[in-house]
Structure 1
């Protein structure tokens, strides 16, 4: 029991998984789309995330305290192939997001120290820092759940303090200078599209569903942690969005979406604002990488035990050493190759689809209470609308990325079908060989 994590560390893992990608990878794009109504986009996305969280919790209580989403699909549909493909989709999505976090960590580190190449070697420094970050967090997870959870407490605590200083300080500065507005006069389609994009910022809380073997009193702890983490992340997103969109002009946000937070800190924090936000970015991307790796490795271990992944990934003992090493290798490779725009877009669509599917499963298991009907229904419809909006956004504004995402989707589905239908395929090949 002493090696298992409690409520504080569970909330840290969930918040670390969400905020790491949300604040620094999504806010600028959301703000550029919705302007001063970016806060409303995060509220709407947070509401859909709460519906999905409710659905996870309900399925968890109906099926098995320590089951997880893969078991939800298997028991609710009776289709083990669909359950296995769901697990693969989670893994692929996590590899994409971890690669994005690792890439961003290296980029922020290089910008912070102002050095672009390895001294004496002339090699680019960003890939080297990225590889080092992946190696460190793989090592921490190899040490065990306790080491990873305690590290997450530290990283998330420092990150949240910095972002709260930015948010509260920015609100005070904006209020005293008369620069704060609600943006409600700009209602239109922009916030709707931005809400679809902002949904990506709430990927991460579902990590707890895969961590239940490492959590004390998992049924109660996971339920509380999901609601607390989504609520807190929404609050943090809202105040940061309000500050950024009111202190930075729309044209500047569009030109510098990735650094809009640092720019927004300058009016009230001066030159120290850039340093402060850069440090927060390191903590955010680092904690998100750690939290996602922690959970993805445990999911991989469960998939191996159910024959959903190759048996070569089997690890002795409690810690999933081989899955950790494989996931770390894939993450390092993807993050060093360069731009991960298409991969991260695919991962975003994958998670939205998965959340919608869990809400639909919960709706199918509805009871007499109104909440068991209405909440999963809202989550399902919200996810469908989000997929349509995000797909439309990619197709109309980033056609090359859209084409790449389509290719990735088809490739992944093809590989999954080949793995799960390998026995019938091998049987047919053997029949053909015998006939010849």
Structure 2
């Protein structure tokens, strides 16, 4: 979770929230904490390779509602993973090919292929790779945040320059994208020795660290560069912000850190595909082909990787982010709504669950009505994803039921 979103989305979030992006990250962090509370309670009670989808099934049963949510989750995860792979490609291209778009696509495709291979080797290698990446990214981002905060110009963050509350709330859908990795934590429950104790601790520690770092970096970047400069820098805004204070070496250091962060997020994004597919085939929500082994590799992982490749090569970065955020928020609302029906088994607080649904719902509706509705391509793609998920669910289940 830590790193990929902050590298990829500062420019896009700045277009909506201006220099108030730090506030957008704070709100997104609070919403993620509320959802994280729900997920941690569910994960501690129902540890499974099915992760988030296991929770929906517990609340709504194995009917079409859960099946549609399963396909939505699978597709949304492909979008999110493609998004960070594109960000990796942008940084790699900026470093070695002067930002050439064609090379950006090549590098994005390459990181997806490499991380698919890592996941094929097994979860132990995934964990070891993630550990190294996280330590490197956390260390460098922390130093970078301190340097920026010490050297920032407070007037650039003046409240008088902030946009309307509605725009700030709308931007939360984008900054929330930077937290989406916390959902993947639930898929690790099956690998934890004591998920009831470890999962909640991992969830809240990860979200707390991410929120603090994201806010500090947003304050530092927008307190150092003008909003227009951040927007024009796009996906390389952090590296541009580092250069005035740390020189060319700083630019390269942040670029390398971005490569680590986005590579790690691509790795983590592909991680749930195999276990999720196998679990959903077992419960009858995915067709058997998704759990079929191709030379020992679950086909669900290969399908996910192929979808990521198509998205990374064919879509623009900001379009992927908008669609991914909207779908993810919808999924999280559905999961926590399902939690309501089993809250007596998990021991979750009713009011916290209600607040989690309300806050995510408000952000989703505001984002759609304020931002997404003006992006025709993104809006149509979002509708297409919803129709595709429903089509996949009803399309393959109906024949099987008749048989």
Same fold (TM over 0.5): yes
1:27 aligns with 2:10: yes
Give the match for residue 135 of structure 1.
113
Give the match for residue 90 of structure 1.
73
Give the match for residue 64 of structure 2.
81
CA contact (8 A) 1:363 1:372 kept: no
Write out per-residue CA displacement over residues 106-129 of structure 1, whole angstroms, 9 at most, x where no aligned residue: 221111113678xxxxx9433333
CA contact (8 A) 2:59 2:338 kept: yes
Q: Indicate which of 99, 105, 110 corresponds to 2:88.
A: 105
Q: Indicate which of 7, 14, 27 corresponds to 1:44.
A: 27
CA contact (8 A) 1:212 1:218 kept: yes
CA contact (8 A) 2:58 2:338 kept: no
CA contact (8 A) 1:93 1:347 kept: yes
Give the match for residue 283 of structure 2.
306
CA contact (8 A) 2:19 2:157 kept: yes
Of residues 346-355 and 144-153 in structure 1, the stretch that sits farther from structure 2 once superposed is 346-355
**Alpha-carbon deviation of 1:228?**
0.7
Write out per-residue CA displacement over residues 155-213 of structure 1, whole angstroms, 9 at most, x where no aligned residue: 12212222112101111122xx6667564884732322222332222111111212222
SS at match of 2:223: helix
Give the match for residue 225 of structure 1.
202
Query: Gapped runs of 5+ residues in structure 1?
Result: 1-14, 118-122, 428-436
Of residues 300-309 and 280-289 in structure 1, the stretch that sits farther from structure 2 once superposed is 300-309
CA contact (8 A) 2:145 2:220 kept: yes
In 1, distance between residues paired with 2:217 and 2:136? 16
Q: Indicate which of 242, 249, 252 corresponds to 1:265.
A: 242
CA contact (8 A) 1:51 1:359 kept: no
**Alpha-carbon deviation of 1:40?**
1.3
In 2, distance between residues paired with 1:303 and 1:270? 50
Give the match for residue 124 of structure 2.
146
CA contact (8 A) 1:342 1:404 kept: no
1:254 aligns with 2:237: no
**Alpha-carbon deviation of 1:389?**
1.4
In 2, distance between residues paired with 1:238 and 1:341? 21
The 5-angstrom pairing of residues 12-411 of structure 1 reads: 15-16=1-2, 19-20=3-4, 22-62=5-45, 64-66=46-48, 68-114=51-97, 124-174=102-152, 181=157, 183=159, 186=162, 188-189=164-165, 190-315=167-292, 321-339=298-316, 341-366=318-343, 372-411=349-388
Provide TM-score, normalisation by structure 2. Answer: 0.89
CA contact (8 A) 2:20 2:157 kept: no
Considering only aligned residues, what root-mean-square deviation do their CA atoms show, in Å? Answer: 2.8
Provide TM-score, normalisation by structure 1. Answer: 0.83
In 2, distance between residues paired with 1:370 and 1:377? 14
Query: Gapped runs of 5+ residues in structure 2?
Result: none
Residue correspondences, number? 400
